[in-house]
Amino acid sequence: MIRIEQAHLSRSDMDAQRQKLAPFSCAYSPQIPEILMKLGCSIAISTYQAGKIVFISPKDEYSLVQLPRTFEKPMGIAISEETDQLALACKDEVVVFTNSEDLAEFYPRSPKKYDSLYMPRVTYHTNNLDVHDLSFGLNQELFGVNTLFSCLVSFDSQYNFKPYWKPSFVSKLSSEDRCHLNGMVMVNGFPKYVTAFNQGDTPRSWRENVTQNGILMDIETNEIIASDLSMPHSPRLIDGKLYLLESAKGRLVNVDLSTGKAEEVVKLGGFLRGMGVYGDYVFIGRSKLRKNSSSFAHLQIPEEHNTCGIFLVHLPSGSLVGKMEYQMSVDEIYEVAVLSNKLRPNILSKSMPESKMGLSIPETTYWAKMKESQ
């Protein structure tokens, strides 16, 4: 690991050293930048705790570079390869960004530094829905997991959200987070499978026995495929197989869709959440437990696993090939996404002045001139 040494320090000394670290300081194994370079991709993570989306890219085969941008409570990230768009679920809105390589090339603050630039193009004003997973569907329709209302939704210009499906065991739409619906898998452009913490129908019923009653469900048949999962998150369909993270057990599992049996692929420890897929590799997020959280207080996770970072796993062999661990700024990760064919991406939030200066039209792009500082 490339790291800042912290061994043999007292707790007070470690706290003092932590305060000296630069924001977003991290340690990582040398395989991470090398593999990202060979894959030709970058990673995007959302951390609602820090209020950031962070792009992690290979600077070269030996080092990484990070680009954090500020958003209010960012969670779900959706990527469209077809239109080269990125959607981000925030506290009370979903923002859609479109990549422009031309705007990236002439980005006023750093020309020819970035190979892509995600510019804000559409904002859906959802109000507070606690949107978790987010995905583009057929014809670029945007679907999300509305955790607060225990349902799947789509977004358009007419409403805050349009209900698409709710579990059969949830009696009505109500802003009560009844089962902690959180994960969603798309098949043929529409939602197909979901994960939730239980099958409850009362306000926040999932908080009881939170590590024992998680489910994987087929929304087309309303069939419960598995009902004994441990805080399931981040379901993914990879080569016809359903994978998900059992967060409370710190493991990646493959769930047999015919029997519901969960087979362990790799145990990483800690609280896992967020998974990006690229080729034979999966990038898995791990979060530190919140000490003041009633939902997490009873989880028994060893101190050495109570860290925040990203694991890189070779899926066919189930082997860990590299990891990255944050030492500052980031304690929790919700989503991990892969930005393919992008080695130095950039993204602008709506609050950044540059986001108002870049114009794209079908034939060309324009940058307004920046005013000189007085």
Distance of alpha carbon 322 from the chain centroid: 19
List the structure tokens of 370: 């920046």
Question: Residue 19's pLDDT band (boundaries 50, 70, 90)?
Answer: low
Please tell me the predicted confidence (pLDDT) of residue 5: 31
CATH number (domain holding residue 271): 2.120.10.30
Q: Is the pLDDT of residue 374 over 50?
A: no
pLDDT tens track for 131-188: 999 999 999 999 999 999 999 999 999 999 999 999 999 999 999 999 999 999 999 9
Region 19-29 average pLDDT: 89
In a domain, 5, yes or no: no
Which residues, in sequence order, are CB contacts of 172 under 8 Å at separation 6+?
none
In a domain, 240, yes or no: yes
CA-nearest of 253, 242, 249 to 286 is 249
Q: How far apart are CA 232 and CA 213, in angstroms?
A: 9
Domain that holds residue 77: 23-358
pLDDT tens track for 210-221: 999 999 999 999
Q: How far apart are CA 191 and CA 197, in angstroms?
A: 18
Percentage of the chain modeled with pLDDT above 70: 91
List the structure tokens of 207: 């908080």
Q: Count Cβ atoms within 10 A of the Cβ of residue 157 and give its class: 0-12 exposed, 13-18 middle, 19 or more buried.
A: exposed
In a domain, 304, yes or no: yes
Q: How far apart are CA 329 and CA 52, in angstroms?
A: 10
Question: Residue 301's pLDDT band (boundaries 50, 70, 90)?
Answer: confident
Could you give the number of structural domains in the chain?
1
Whole-model pTM: value is 0.92
pLDDT tens track for 306-322: 899 999 999 999 999 99
In a domain, 369, yes or no: no
In a domain, 123, yes or no: yes
Question: Residue 303's pLDDT band (boundaries 50, 70, 90)?
Answer: confident
Region 13-38 average pLDDT: 82
In a domain, 8, yes or no: no
In a domain, 14, yes or no: no
Region 284-294 average pLDDT: 81
In a domain, 43, yes or no: yes
Question: Residue 226's pLDDT band (boundaries 50, 70, 90)?
Answer: very high
